Amino acid sequence: MSFEHRALQLDRVSKHYGEVRALEDVSFELRKGEFLTMLGPSGSGKTTTLRVIAGFVEPSSGALLIDGRDMTGVPPQRRNIGMMFQDYALFPHMTVLENVAYPLETRGVKRSERESRAREMLGIVGLADFAKRFPKQMSGGQQQRVALARALVFHPDIVLLDEPMAALDKKLRGQMQIEIMHIARKVGATVVSVTHDQEEALVMSDRIAIFRAGRLAQIGTPQELYTRPNSEFVADFIGEANLLRGTARREAGTCRLEGPGWRAILPADDPRAPAKTAAVTVVLRPEVIALAAEGERPANALTGTIEDRIYLGVEFRLIVRLADGSAVQVRSRDLARISALAQGDAVTLCWRDEDFVVIPG
Ligand code: ADP
Ligand code: MG
């Protein structure tokens, strides 16, 4: 059996600046060709992680391997890494073609080959006809694609993107997200990107790493993070989440969860059921909550009064106020029944067993 190296491995990487713990015990691995996005609030350690990978920052402890090779003591220019940052910093006095060919020049590739490889890359990013232009003669999105071509042209082991879309307007950002993802796939690049825009992370990534205060809070596919967040922080960070607080109790072969205005039941052997009485938070996404049928007494239920009912074309958004004053957001396509409701009406809402997450505390 052949053993394929991981494209990238971080093993318990920490970086401290005096008292500041910029990174603490961060471990993850990437497969070749994988697109990872690091997502988290400002100051959570995303850029530091990129700088550790690039070699601009030496970890205080822990190890970094690229394609199975330990990078300790290997300077940035000896790591085969492509980079594209927010200020894409194209060389203004060079043509587009010269900009893209530049990394090949610094790597000693001969002139004729430099030009043909740079032209090929410009073709891939859709700028074949712009080779002779200067950066200032191009739009923001085009400049961005030049920067991407320059980051990819020398077939780097890893491409690092730090907030690559931050300087673009919203519409262009959306197009570029999809474009960059397709180009990265086409050339088989392994990519680590940074953003604080959750939609960007969902659109572009095979997996997302969520950072919080220098630690990796959770890493997984967009679906894993959305459907099985391991903390309130992650639940809140990806998508919309209702957080219901209460207590879990073992009782006659089941586990009962209860809080002000809501209850739920789990089979005793469900992995989500705490072993003994414990404080819990239940995570419910707005779209898994439904109106209970007339006269039904569902096992998983919450009761409250309608505070707001907003029609959004394909669905309604309901805001339901619970006994303890907290609000629950619901998104429902049960248009006929919801149309018949009015502000102040009492409602019973329910959800399926498989559609909720239980987080300790
Ligand atoms: P992010 O990119 O997620 O916004 P950073 O990785 O830039 O976060 O920063 C993580 C933490 O480390 C922050 O508290 C930041 O102030 C601190 N930090 C980053 N670089 C340095 C440095 N060179 N010296 C001191 N503190 C730093
Ligand atoms: Mg940053």
Type of residue at 183: I
* Amino acid at position 140, single letter: G
301 pLDDT more than 50: yes
Largest Cα span, the chain? 79
Q: Are residues 49 and 34 in the same domain?
A: yes
Any atom of ligand 1 within 6 Å of the Cβ of 46: yes
pLDDT of residue 88: 60
What is the Cα–Cα distance from 90 to 96, expressed in whole angstroms?
9
Q: Within this chain, do residues 259 and 169 fall inside the same structural domain, yes or no?
A: no
pLDDT for 322 equals 93
Distance CA 121, CA 320 (A): 53
- Do both 169 and 246 map to the same domain? no
> What tokens does 192 get?
């680590």
What integer pLDDT is reported at residue 168 of this predicted model? 76
> What is the 163 CA–ligand 1 centroid distance (Å)?
15
Domain that holds residue 250: 240-360
**140, pLDDT greater than 90:** no
Cβ(17) – ligand 1 distance below 6 Å: yes
Q: Are both 252 and 331 inside the same structural domain?
A: yes
CATH of the domain at 289: 2.40.50.100
- Let me know whether 336 and 272 are in one domain: yes
Average pLDDT over residues 40-48: 94
Is the predicted pLDDT of residue 163 greater than 90, yes or no? no
Ligand with minimal distance to 39 CA: 1
User: Is the CB of 51 inside a 6 Å radius of any atom of ligand 1?
Assistant: no
Q: Nearest to residue 99, comparing CAs of 72, 77, 121? A: 121
Q: Over range 252-270, report the average pLDDT.
A: 94
Q: Are residues 341 and 279 in the same domain?
A: yes
- Number of separate domains in the chain: 2
Does any ligand 1 atom lie closer than 6 A to the CB of residue 216? no
Mean pLDDT of 158-162: 93
Q: Are 90 and 179 found together in one domain? A: yes
Q: What is the pLDDT of residue 130?
A: 96
Q: What is the mean pLDDT of residues 114-137?
A: 94
The residue whose CB lies within 8 Å of the most ligand 1 atoms, and thus the one to mutate among 19, 37, 47, 192, is: 47
Runs of H (alpha helix) within the chain: 46-54, 96-106, 111-124, 140-152, 170-187, 198-204, 222-227, 232-237, 335-339
Ligand 1 atom closest to 17 (CA): 25
Burial of residue 260 (CB within 10 Å: 0-12, 13-18, 19+) is middle
User: Mean of the pLDDT values across residues 134-155?
Assistant: 91
Residue 66: CB within 6 Å of ligand 1? no
Q: Are residues 271 and 334 in the same domain?
A: yes
Give yes or no for residue 2 having a pLDDT over 50.
no
pLDDT score recorded for residue 122: 94
Measure Cα distances from 53 to 75, 98, 185, 194, 254 in Å: 11, 27, 21, 13, 48
Residue 138 carries which DSSP code? S
Which one of 204, 236, 268 terminates a domain?
236
> Which residue, of 221, 236, 251, is where some domain finishes?
236
Q: Which atom of ligand 1 is found nearest the CA of 51?
A: 6
Instruction: Identify the CA nearest to 13 among candidates 165, 276, 243, 214.
Output: 214
111 & 136 share domain:
yes
pLDDT tens column, 312-355: 999 999 999 998 899 999 999 999 899 999 999 999 999 999 99
77: tokens are 């220019």
Same domain flag for 322 and 225? no
For the CA of 41, the nearest atom of ligand 1? 3
Pair (206, 256) in one structural domain: no
Domain boundary among 208, 236, 264: 236
For the entire predicted model, the pTM comes to 0.89
Q: What is the pLDDT of residue 206?
A: 96
* Least confident among 7-11, 115-119, 160-164: 160-164
Q: Are residues 215 and 266 in the same domain?
A: no
Query: pLDDT confidence of 1, banded at 50, 70, 90?
Result: very low
Rounded-to-integer distance, Cα 288 and Cα 311, Å: 18
